[in-house]
Structure 1
Amino acid sequence: MSTLQSYGWNAHFMHHFETNTHQNLEAARVLSIQGFKHLLITAEGNLDALLAGSLINSREPESLPKTGDWVLVKRYDEEGIIIDILPRINELSRKMPGSQSTRQVLAANVDAALIVQGLDRDFNLMRLQRYLQQIAQCYIRPIVVLNKTDLVPDPENYRLRVAELGYDCPVILTSALDEAQQSAWTNHHLLPGHTYILLGSSGVGKSTLVNSLLGHDLQETGATSSANSKGKHTTTTRQLVQLPNGSMIIDVPGMREFGLTSEDGDEGIHHPMIDALAPQCRFGDCTHQHEPGCAVVNAVENGDLPEIVYRSYQKLLREQNHFQASEADKRRMGKQFGKIAKQVSKHRKDRKY
């Protein structure tokens, strides 16, 4: 197996590489980004590279190279210049932290996302549903990892509570400090040549998990406050590393916010339980809030649909609608600005003698 194949190179990227119009360029994958410097893996090994000015000027920020992207690079001495990006299979995004409704792409070409929650004080079903919804919108397979099982008397109870949410995804109970547990689930779920991303809040044990999987310290693990059980940020940048079994993992800094976006072609919030009930509603455009004959509301009242699932669904739907409205406002303002700019340009030309 070649170096590129071991890092996920496949027929999709080969096709776009062979049909690309640029000549005499190498294919490489982005391992990490630190400021303006991009660390790449090429067929010949690691290479530091910068973005070509033409690429920066022709792309929106979310379309510029991210960790996990496959790029086309031209060598100059010991460094490279990234000329273009090969089309992505998928991309994991979130709403940019803060009040601004802007997408932030966290990583590209991801096979599955590992959502890590600690069973000490981080376990939160509402937050978990937020991660599951956004990951599903990005066409990425979710895997829930419940860490720190050594700190609670009945870990199985937490797994059952996640299963009751109705999502069809693996739920793993583990302790990052237990090597036997780590080997058991990683051998089954982390496959050679596949790319995974670790998501979760600070202090859930993501860096400890990565260090355990690698067999050495990639990141220093931060101390956890005894007052609030919140850990320090130990990962400062998104970094793709290869594990001993040939799989790859992207470690992401702990996130306080994981807001929903509206991905291309998405028609709203989807949940397996609610999607199954929706066809039974009296009205085809039922919002599952106040309409008579709503099968979803009836299921909540009868106890057939967990109330936490329904409350989370409504909250996430409102959040997504707000994001969509803000995006529409920005597009409308952009068009208005474009018209004004054209009018000003025409006015200047008309006044020339």
Structure 2
Amino acid sequence: MRHSELNTSQDLEAARVLSIQGFKHLLITGTGNVEAQLAGALINSREPEAYPKVGDWVLVKRYDEEGIIIDVLPRINALSRKAPGTHSTRQVLAANIDAAFIVQGLDRDYNLMRLQRYLQQVVQCNIQPVVILNKADLVPDPETYRQAVQELGYNCPVVLTSALDQALQEEWAGQYLLPRHTYILLGSSGVGKSTLLNSLAGYRLQKEGATSTANSKGKHTTTARHLVLLPNGSMIIDVPGMREFGVTGESGSEGVHHPLIDELAPQCRFGDCTHQHEPGCAVVAAVRNGTLPEPVYRSYLKLMREQYHFQASEADRKRNEKQFTKMAKQVFRHRKDTKY
């Protein structure tokens, strides 16, 4: 289903969010780009995570050269993370994504457990991951890195490339970048995402950051999420480098679902096995006999605890907000009735 094919009323136009700067939303429509702001009724009726995000399809009403966003159309999916900081709030990064390109540099950025964190969240947001191992020209045996990623068990494509090698870029892009599909580019600061994106676009979209000689990390990264139209008709959302990528799971989901764990779980003695201390646990047995890598298992337990804590805290927060709203309404009615 493509939201652009939906019929809209004569006064409303379907549009897609390209970028957001403060209160201004840059949209693309069938007749060109337009800047728009949110309708007051939309702001008051939604939680912040339901506000339009990059990649969302919206209905906009035109007023001369500007527009007002009236509604957000239902999302196919949304990529979220735990918002940075101590509070358990969900931050939606982008919406309506066909696949996520998770980029790691094969220099000082390469980190399997950080990669598993990205993979876990992307998969649980119902998005297909593709791992891009950049700077493959900087290591003597890049194939060993690809094999290590595949052993994480997510059954996703793993691409070895160098953003500076145009032939390698064209090879993997021709296979994984499909017209009329939307992708998102994820990774830490300095992995070469800007160089990759500029290469895919065929021109310089933004200034590429210099690289520090002290730590081989980029000094400058993307500062805002934005959706870019590529020459072959595909679309890609560039995301600033993220120091934190806290897992939340898909909204309403229960538990952490890892392919290797899920494959073993039916063999456990107990149907509600937590795969930690129960007798007859097939997952623990697989770790002991070496068929399930221990680092993968340890990372799974850490992510499971983190996701459980997030969802419990989020439920408490929403419960408290609901109780406060109810109390505020009661106070308002009391003051109105007593004219106080």
| TM superposition score category, shorter chain reference | over 0.9
Change (3 A) 1:349 1:250: closer
1:14 aligns with 2:1: no
CA distance in 2, matches of 1:64, 1:343: 28
- Whether the aligned pair in 2 keeps the contact of 1:238 and 1:253 (CA below 8 Å) is yes
Structure 1 residues 111-260: aligned runs within 5 Å: 111-260=98-247
Q: What's the secondary structure of 2:312's corresponding residue?
A: helix
Question: Which of 300, 324, 327 is matched with 1:337 structurally?
Answer: 324
- Whether the aligned pair in 2 keeps the contact of 1:233 and 1:253 (CA below 8 Å) is no
- Whether the aligned pair in 2 keeps the contact of 1:70 and 1:85 (CA below 8 Å) is yes
Amino acid at match of 2:281: C
1:281 aligns with 2:268: yes
CA distance in 1, matches of 2:297, 2:332: 53
Match of 1:59 in 2: 46
CA distance in 1, matches of 2:266, 2:243: 36
- Whether the aligned pair in 2 keeps the contact of 1:69 and 1:109 (CA below 8 Å) is yes
Amino acid at match of 1:303: G
1:78 aligns with 2:65: yes
- Whether the aligned pair in 2 keeps the contact of 1:13 and 1:87 (CA below 8 Å) is no
CA distance in 2, matches of 1:280, 1:70: 43
CA distance in 2, matches of 1:90, 1:302: 38
How much does 1:11 deviate?
4.5
Tell me the TM-score normalized by structure 2: 0.96
Task: Structure 2: state its 5+ residue gaps.
Answer: none
Task: Structure 1: state its 5+ residue gaps.
Answer: 1-9
Change (3 A) 1:34 1:345: closer
Amino acid at match of 2:216: S
CA distance in 1, matches of 2:170, 2:336: 71
Amino acid at match of 1:328: A
- Whether the aligned pair in 2 keeps the contact of 1:261 and 1:320 (CA below 8 Å) is yes
**RMSD between aligned residues:** 1.5
CA distance in 1, matches of 2:250, 2:195: 32
Q: What's the secondary structure of 2:314's corresponding residue?
A: helix
- Whether the aligned pair in 2 keeps the contact of 1:13 and 1:86 (CA below 8 Å) is no
Question: Which of 77, 85, 105 is matched with 1:98 structurally?
Answer: 85
* Deviates further, 51-60 or 248-257: 51-60
Count of matched residue pairs: 340
How much does 1:223 deviate?
1.1
Match of 1:5 in 2: none
Change (3 A) 1:71 1:352: closer
Match of 2:315 in 1: 328
Q: What's the secondary structure of 1:135's corresponding residue?
A: helix
CA distance in 2, matches of 1:221, 1:12: 33
Amino acid at match of 1:164: E
Match of 1:292 in 2: 279
1:87 aligns with 2:87: no
Match of 1:6 in 2: none
- Whether the aligned pair in 1 keeps the contact of 2:37 and 2:68 (CA below 8 Å) is yes
Change (3 A) 1:261 1:182: same
Runs of 4 or more consecutive aligned structure 1 residues displaced over 3 Å after TM superposition: 10-15, 349-353
Q: What's the secondary structure of 2:275's corresponding residue?
A: coil
Q: What's the secondary structure of 1:167's corresponding residue?
A: coil
1:308 aligns with 2:295: yes
Change (3 A) 1:71 1:347: closer
Q: Deviations over 1:136-155 (max 9, x none)?
A: 11110000000001111111
Tell me the TM-score normalized by structure 1: 0.93
How much does 1:345 deviate?
3.2
CA distance in 2, matches of 1:249, 1:193: 10
How much does 1:71 deviate?
1.0
Match of 2:248 in 1: 261
Q: What's the secondary structure of 1:256's corresponding residue?
A: coil
CA distance in 2, matches of 1:176, 1:282: 48
